[in-house]
Chain A
Amino acid sequence: MAENVPLELGTEKVGKLLKKYALPAIIAMTASSLYNMVDSIYIGQGVGPLAISGLALTFPLMNLSAAFGTLVGVGASTLVSVLLGQKNYDVAKKVLSNVVILNVAIGIVFSSLALIFLNPILYFFGASPDTIPYAREYMVIILLGNPFTHLYFGLNSVMRASGHPQKAMVATILTVILNCILDPIFIFVFDMGIQGAAIATIISQVVSLVWLLRIYCNKNELLHFSKDTFKLDFQIAKRSMSIGMAPFLMNVASCFVVIFINNQLKRYGGDMAIGAYGIVNRIVFLFLMIINGFNQGMQPIAGYNYGARQYKRVKEVLKLTIIWATGIIMVGFIVGMLFPTAAVSVFTSDQQLKQIAKVGFRYTVMAFPVVGFQIVVSNFFQSLGLAKKAIFLSLSRQLLFLLPLLAILPPLLGIEGVWLSMPISDCIAALVAFIMLKRLMNEFNREMAISEGSDTIGIPASQENSVELHKV
Chain B
Amino acid sequence: MDRKYLITIGRQVGSGGLETAHKLSEQLGIKMYDKELLYEVSKQSGICPELFVKNDEKSAKQRIFTFFGIGTSAQENDLLSADSSLNGATLFKMQSEVMRDIASKESCIFVGRCADYVLRDMPDCHHFYITADLEFRAKRIAASNGLSLAEAKRFIEQGDRKRADYYNYYTFKKWGDASSYDLCIDSSKIGVDNVVEIIKYYINTITK
B84 touches A74 (CB 8 A): no
8 Å CB contact of B72 from A1, A81, A245, A306: A245
Q: Which of A1-48 contact B (CB under 8 A)?
A: 1, 4-5, 7, 9-10
B97 touches A4 (CB 8 A): yes
Complex Cα spacing A77 to B47, Å: 25
Kindly state whether residue B15 has any CB partner on chain A within 8 Å. no
Contact status of A470 and B36, CB under 8 A, knowing A88-B172, A242-B76, A249-B68: yes
B39 touches A466 (CB 8 A): yes
A303 touches B84 (CB 8 A): yes
B80 touches A387 (CB 8 A): yes
Kindly state whether residue A219 has any CB partner on chain B within 8 Å. no
Q: Which residues of the partner chain A approach B39 to less than 8 Å between Cβ atoms?
A: 466, 469-470, 472
Complex Cα spacing A374 to B188, Å: 59
A387 touches B36 (CB 8 A): no
Q: Closest Cβ of chain A: how far from B64's Cβ, in Å? A: 7
How many residue pairs link A and B with beta carbons under 8 A? The number is 137
Q: Mark A343-387, 1 if CB is under 8 A from B, else 0.
A: 000000000000000000000000000000000000000111101
Task: Assign chain B's interface to a size class.
Answer: 35 or more
A299 touches B76 (CB 8 A): no
Kindly state whether residue B4 has any CB partner on chain A within 8 Å. no
Kindly state whether residue A244 has any CB partner on chain B within 8 Å. yes
Q: Mark B116-129, 1 if CB is under 8 A from A, else 0.
A: 01100100000000
Complex Cα spacing A296 to B85, Å: 11
8 Å CB contact of A307 from B47, B79, B83, B171: B47
8 Å CB contact of B84 from A4, A242, A299, A472: A299
Complex Cα spacing A226 to B64, Å: 37
8 Å CB contact of B80 from A1, A246, A300: A246
B94 touches A384 (CB 8 A): no
A82 touches B84 (CB 8 A): no
Complex Cα spacing A244 to B72, Å: 10
B76 touches A382 (CB 8 A): no
Query: A200-208, A260-268, A403-411, A453-461: which one contacts chain B?
Result: A453-461
Kindly state whether residue A308 has any CB partner on chain B within 8 Å. yes
A296 touches B76 (CB 8 A): no
Kindly state whether residue B87 has any CB partner on chain A within 8 Å. yes
8 Å CB contact of A383 from B86, B89, B92: B86
A459 touches B42 (CB 8 A): yes
A239 touches B86 (CB 8 A): no
Kindly state whether residue B49 has any CB partner on chain A within 8 Å. yes
Return 26 A-B CB contacts under 8 Å, by A number.
A1-B83, A4-B97, A5-B85, A10-B46, A82-B89, A82-B92, A85-B93, A86-B118, A86-B170, A86-B171, A246-B80, A249-B68, A303-B85, A304-B85, A307-B85, A308-B45, A382-B81, A384-B81, A385-B86, A387-B78, A387-B80, A387-B81, A459-B42, A466-B43, A469-B42, A470-B39
Interface residues of A (CB under 8 A from B): 1, 4-5, 7, 9-10, 74-75, 77-78, 81-83, 85-88, 91, 239, 242-247, 249, 296, 299-300, 302-304, 306-309, 382-385, 387-388, 390-391, 457-459, 461, 466, 469-470, 472
Given contacts A77-B82, A78-B82, A83-B172, 14 further A-B contacts (CB under 8 A): A74-B82, A82-B170, A244-B79, A245-B70, A247-B80, A299-B81, A300-B85, A304-B85, A307-B51, A384-B84, A385-B84, A390-B80, A458-B48, A459-B48
Interface residues of B (CB under 8 A from A): 35-36, 39, 42-49, 51, 64-65, 68, 70, 72-73, 76-87, 89-90, 92-94, 96-97, 117-118, 121, 170-172
